[in-house]
Structure 1
Amino acid sequence: MVSAGDAVVLGGSMAGLIAARVLSEAYDTVTVVDRDPLPEAAAARRGVPQSRQLHVLLARGRRALDELFEGLSDELSAAGAPLVDLHDQVHWCNDGHPMRRAASDLVGVGVSRPLLESTVRARVRNLGNVRFCPPAEATALLSTEDRSRIIGVLVTPRVGAAYPIHADLVVDACGRASRSPVWLAELGYPTPPEQRVPVDVTYVTRVYQREPRHLDGLLGALTNAVPGRPRTGIVAAQEDGRFAVALSGMLGEQPPSDHEGFTRFAESLGMPVISRFVRDAVPVGGPAQMRYPASVRRRYERLRRFPLGYLVVGDAVCSFNPVYGQGMTVAATEGLLLRSLLSGGPDRLARRFFRGAGKLIDGPWSIAVGTDLRFPQVPGPRSARVRLVNWYVHRLHAAARTDAVLGEAFLRVLNLVDPPTRLLRPAIARRVLRGGGADPVPSAGVAGGR
């Protein structure tokens, strides 16, 4: 690959680390700028307020990260993070219907955000042409006199005067705190059209000691929110012999943080395998609460004018309802996209990247938003297609109680391995229509089963 000069990445979390890894193959130097001191060991940090929350690395995300960081799954496994067959080792309950389990190739990894991020960060630190600058905040973009090209960034350290870092490419990986729309407007560029879907999600995570008897010996459990009960519960195995439990509520529902309130909330989910665990397991540390007001998608691919030498990636482009666990996987697939585009040189990089990223985002966005629009309180257009797909997926969940083929088809889409359209294939549709049709049972007691 031909050298393209120097690059700067704004943000040292997962999307920024992925971008730095990819850019290291094409640029002489890559500088990562972050406001936080970045720890050497696995630790939660202020700049990632959700780092103490349960995170899910979907099967597609794990595969993508293994492409970018060879052997990463094995390294995480050696550090104690369990590899999980997401169809066979998890209790799934969708719309009140327990999913029939079966062995699959959908393998996720049960890992906390601090361990995943520190492991990836160590890989990036070991790259010879990547450096992490001292804690500093990016405060402005530097441009040519005609403002057609970004040539660097002004950074302000915690102590001392602001200083410039010049670069041939600047990548904004600052997540939901991205200032790109403001900076573009200051340079005379249009801001990207924005789609916002208010969901008002509050979620609380607690960590517990894991014992072989828990969850009937499986490594996870999940029950989704349904109209009339906008509450979700997720249990996922992690490193250090622990389970993380995330309880969440939409539309103003808020899980309590105290043990009794947390337990009552878990019991309201109607999934005894989760409520029994929360009631009986031994907690490790205190609860962590997070609020997420809205899913936001910035349509950079629709801009006709955009400065050369600049990109926006990860949550700064699209921030999904965290209940669906899509963010890190989309960031990883954007990394693979960027790698493939850089092999063709830097010409029209932003236009090519945003167009490709838009296509990558379409699938997970339609899953998250389409599912959220089942709730009448969530504002947004409900086309005939959205209503039909939600009806169809509900029938699929009912049929998946006994049909493991449908369960795997759904999980392949949920894990972003297959596009949502794969659920409409004739062979799948026949099984859905033949086996579906049960009403939702939001309060049914389920434990998952073969």
Structure 2
Amino acid sequence: MPPTDRATAAAPPAASSHAVVIGAGMAGLTAARALGDAYERVTVIERDALPAVPAPRRGVPQGRQLHVLLVRGARALEELFPGFLDELTAAGAVPADTQGEALWYLDGHLVRRAPSGLVSYGAGRPLVEHLVRARVAALPGVRFAEGTEVLGPVVPPDGRRVTGVRVRPLRAAGAAAEEVLPADLVVDASGRGSRAPHWLAEAGCPRPETTRVRADVVYVTRHFRREPHHLGGLRGVAYQAHPGAPRGGAVLSVDGDRFAVVLHGQFGEEPPTDPAGMLAYAERLPGPEAAEVLRTAEPLDEPVRMRYPAGTRHHYERLDRHLGGFLVTGDALCSFNPAYGQGMTAAAQQALVLRRFLAEGAGDLPRRFFRAAARAVDTPWLLATGGDLRFPEAAERRGPADRLLDAYLTRYRAAASVDAALGRTFLAVAHMVEPPARLMAPGRVLRVLRGLRALRAADGGAADGQGDGSR
């Protein structure tokens, strides 16, 4: 049985208090963990029948794709569920020093390898979700309502706060009757298909503003058997797509003796799913590693393709009036280009925000939570959209300051190929353990200049900081 995760310092729950979470994905599960400290009962409502073992499910269509638990996400899950990382590793996840045990190609430049102390975890989404779900299910007062659809929140005529949710079983014989489930707090963690803006409008509340940044990314994942000779014994390799070379990909050690190989492309570049086509696509990446795995490793399943059109952020923090007792979290709040692997980490960070505010008291909770959650997603949103907006096809207007920053970061990526300290800072920012401003710190600017001089000297004066990104 997993260790108890209930915080000893949590405030005692109110008598017969009940919170409802819509969705049993990572955002819903981590939110339920936070709610378990402050509410006597927590009900997690999920449309799917939840598998008893780690397995993909319909409600998580990206579950078969490559996933990585970023450094910040690993630390957040350990904070929410003490001992979780040991449990995850024992179940087959592969921990790795992000810079010392993996290769990174940034704009076609290979980042200089060195031990970094930044440990991420290669694990399939079904495994991570299965272990988190078991932890949540073991909490006192938590129950799961599977195969159930949420039709909307219950809001009295005064429109001030929710008093419950309307639900309907999906698999009952005949016409299933609608039911009302009373609740003191409702948290929508239903993902990118969230109907929360529509529900707010129905209740007479303002809808949030929405920002979308075109990503137009298509990605294909296939799993292979991992053997000791692959990647020279390293844990993984990643290739960053960039303007002029919109192809990217990664090979990651996951779930024991498996590799997850993902190929992705943006703005018209679409990886194929047939073996010969995937190999030809990988052979045009800036390093040979992914192609070698595709050429020599034993495939374990069929390729799976996904398309992601745009990053989407709903600005609930800007509303001048909130519906009491109603929160939104995870992809329902903000979703990112999946190529950056930020979703699970962002969800866990928002759960930590929720837990902190609930420990302080539930008064004015929506306003407080949405403002703090917005700050929590600022960094992953900046990183993901900043990468997408480098492409002129994103069709977003950028000012002189943006172009100046792009030029600096292009040179930064090149200099990281000769300066391991620059590589560590870049990866620490990408894994959300250091703020993006660290990339522009005076000491880092000086190192970039020195790195570029070293590159020019090595290239006989021809280096300009641009990788060609192709082979």
Q: Which amino acid aligns with 1:441?
A: G
Matches within 5 A, 1:322-333: 322-333=338-349
Deviation at 1:316, TM superposition (A): 0.5
What's 2:122 paired with? 110
Cα RMSD over matched residues? 1.1
Q: Give 5+ residue unaligned stretches, structure 2.
A: 1-10, 453-462
State the partner residue of 2:57.
45
Counterpart in the other structure of 1:2: 12
How far does residue 240 in structure 1 lie from its aligned partner after superposition?
3.0
Aligned counterpart, 2:446: 430
Contact between 1:14 and 1:117, CA under 8 Å: does it hold in 2?
yes
Question: Which residue of structure 1 lines up, in the alignment, with residue 352 of structure 2?
Answer: 336
Q: Is residue 83 from structure 1 mapped to residue 83 from structure 2 by the alignment?
A: no
Cα distance in 2 between the residues matched to 1:413 and 1:130: 35
> Matches of 1:435 and 1:130 in 2, distance apart?
54
CA contact under 8 A between 1:16 and 1:173: conserved in structure 2?
yes
- For the residue of structure 2 that corresponds to 1:177, the secondary structure is coil
The correspondence for 2:276, drawn from 231, 249, 260, is 260
Q: Which residue of 1 aligns with 2:199?
A: 183
> How much has 1:81 moved relative to structure 2?
1.1
1:140 Cα deviation after fit? 1.3
How far is 1:444 from its partner? 5.2
Paired position in structure 1 for 2:242? 226
Instruction: Indicate the residue corresponding to 1:448 in structure 2.
Output: none
Instruction: Report sequence identity in percent.
Output: 51
> What pairs with 1:44-443 in structure 2 (closer than 5 Å)?
44-158=56-170, 159=172, 160-436=176-452, 438-443=464-469
SS in 2 for 1:12: coil
Name the amino acid aligned to 1:273.
Answer: E
Cα distance in 2 for residues equivalent to 1:52 and 1:443: 27
Asked if the contact 1:87–1:106 (Cα under 8 Å) also holds between the matched residues in 2, the reply is: yes
Query: Structure 1 residue 25 and structure 2 residue 37: aligned?
Result: yes
Distance 1:383 1:61 in 2: 32
1: distance between equivalents of 2:317 and 2:177?
36
TM-score when normalising by structure 2:
0.93
Once residues 123 and 146 of structure 2 are traced to their aligned partners in structure 1, the CA distance between those partners, rounded to angstroms, is 28
* Partner SS state of residue 50, structure 1: helix
| Secondary structure of 2:104 counterpart | strand
Secondary structure at 1:256's aligned position in 2? coil
Whichever residue aligns with residue 111 of structure 1, its letter is A
**1:198 shift after superposition:** 1.4
Partner AA of 1:148 in structure 2? R
TM-score of the superposition, structure 1-length normalised?
A: 0.97
Shift of 1:85: 0.5
1:220 and 1:235 in contact (8 A); partners too: yes
Specify the SS of the correspondent of 1:286: coil
Instruction: Report the number of matched residues.
Output: 445
The 8 Å contact of residues 69 and 123 in structure 1, kept in 2 or not, is answered as yes
Return the offset for 1:422. 1.1
Aligned to 1:176, the other structure's residue is in SS state coil
**Deviations 1:270-328 (Å, cap 9, x if unpaired)?**
31112111111111011111111110000100000111001000110100000011111
SS in 1 for 2:394: coil
Contact 1:2 1:345 in 2 (8 A): no
The whole-number CA distance in structure 1 between the counterparts of 2:375 and 2:469 is 37
Indicate the residue corresponding to 2:6 in structure 1.
none
Q: Distance between the aligned counterparts of 1:144 and 1:2, measured in 2?
A: 28
For residues 190 and 201 of structure 2, what CA distance do their matches in structure 1 show? Answer: 17
Deviation at 1:216, TM superposition (A): 1.3
Instruction: Indicate conservation of the 8 Å contact 1:372/1:378, yes or no.
Output: yes
Structure 1: 4+ residue segments shifted above 3 A: none
